[in-house]
Structures are given as structure tokens and as C-alpha cells.
Amino acid sequence: MFPSIPPVTQILIIANVAVFLLETVAGGPMFQLFALWPLSSGFLPWQVVTYGFLHGGLTHLLLNMFALYMFGGEIERVVGQRRYLTYYFVCVLSAAIAQLLVTAVLAAPPYPTVGASGGVFGLLLAFAMYFPNRRVLLIIPPIPMPAWLFVTLFGILELYFGVTGTQAGVAHFAHLGGMVGGYLMIRHWRGRPPFGGRRY
């Protein structure tokens, strides 16, 4: 039996599905306006948020929504609705910034970045920080491991794929940017360097 979906996670899933349905009707113009384009080619300020609601196909959408359901609901229950929503969009924004910086430095051919993965990778990072010893079962291979190890390995793989150019067309540095943004946000909440503030 699936656990109930907390309200903000539910709204995010519904919003992503609704936008995907709009994509199937509007197609190209939506990607041109709302996907994240490089600074030198079609970039518009709102794209640092809107790209996180577009997806490059049904499989892309389903994978991200499954991860949002699995990990987002847990984090929402821990930190509360307002902090959870703030955290999610900080991760989406930090992922966008990382992607823009990398594409500017590498001067790669212009192509749009889409997907909720930046936010999702931030949620993975939060899950590992709040539930480090919770067991996570991989699908391939089916090996259970603690959340901290699962997310660490995932991060290392993303860095390797990004540096080597493996899996071209996947925004690996955006994924890492989402994790970095999430890590800094949680440190801020906990009053850890380089931030101060109230512990959480």
C-alpha cells in the first residue's frame, strides 16, 4: 500500500503532469520560451524555474515523478510545507545556475535543459542527510544500501559522467548543482558554516 502524498509534493507532481500534457499540444514553442537555454542562445530569466516543469518524454517525466513521490514526501513531512517548497525551488535554481555556468565555460552547442531532476537530486541529498541509515534498494542491480552510500555513489557517478562526457544529452552538472544547493540550504537551516542562524 502506497503512503499518502503530502500536499506540496502532490501539487508539484500534478503541476509537472499538467505541464507535460500542455507540451504534447504546444510542443516546440513551450520549449523555446520555458526550457533553460544557454546565456548566449535564447536565455530568458524565468527559465531558471520553468525548465523544471518541462520534460523530454514520458519516461523522463515518470522517473522524476516517482523519485519526487518516494523522497519528496519524506522530506516534506520532516521540514514542513513552507521549508520544503523553498528547499525544492532552491535546488531547481542552483541546478539551473550550475548548468548555465558549465555551458558558458565549455561553449557547448546550444540545446535546452528540461526536467525536475535538479530538484529531485536535491531531495535525494536531503534524504541522505535526514535518513542516512535508511535502506534504499537499487533496481539494477537489486542491492540494498544505506541512503548516505546510495546518494554518495550517485553523486560520484554524476561527476564522472559530467567530466567524461558520458551519456551525452543528460545535464549531469545540473544534477550536481541541485545537490550542492540542497546541501547548502540544509547547512543554513542547521546554522553551520558558512552560514549562521537557527538550528533545525
Quick one: angle between helices 7-26 and 81-106, nearest 10? Answer: 40
Per-residue pLDDT tens for 151-184? Answer: 998 889 888 888 877 766 788 889 999 999 999 9
The reported pTM is 0.89
Per-residue pLDDT tens for 114-140? Answer: 999 999 999 999 999 999 999 887 666
What backbone torsions phi and psi does residue 116 show, to the nearest 5 degrees? -85, 10
Residue 54 is predicted with a pLDDT of 95
Pairing state of beta strands 135-137 and 144-146?
Answer: antiparallel
Report whether the peptide linkage leading into residue 194 is cis, meaning its omega lies within 30 degrees of zero: yes
- Coil, helix or strand at residue 184: helix
Domains of the chain: 7-189 (1.20.1540.10)
- Coil, helix or strand at residue 112: coil
- Coil, helix or strand at residue 138: coil
Residue 83 is predicted with a pLDDT of 96
Residue 6 DSSP one-character state: P
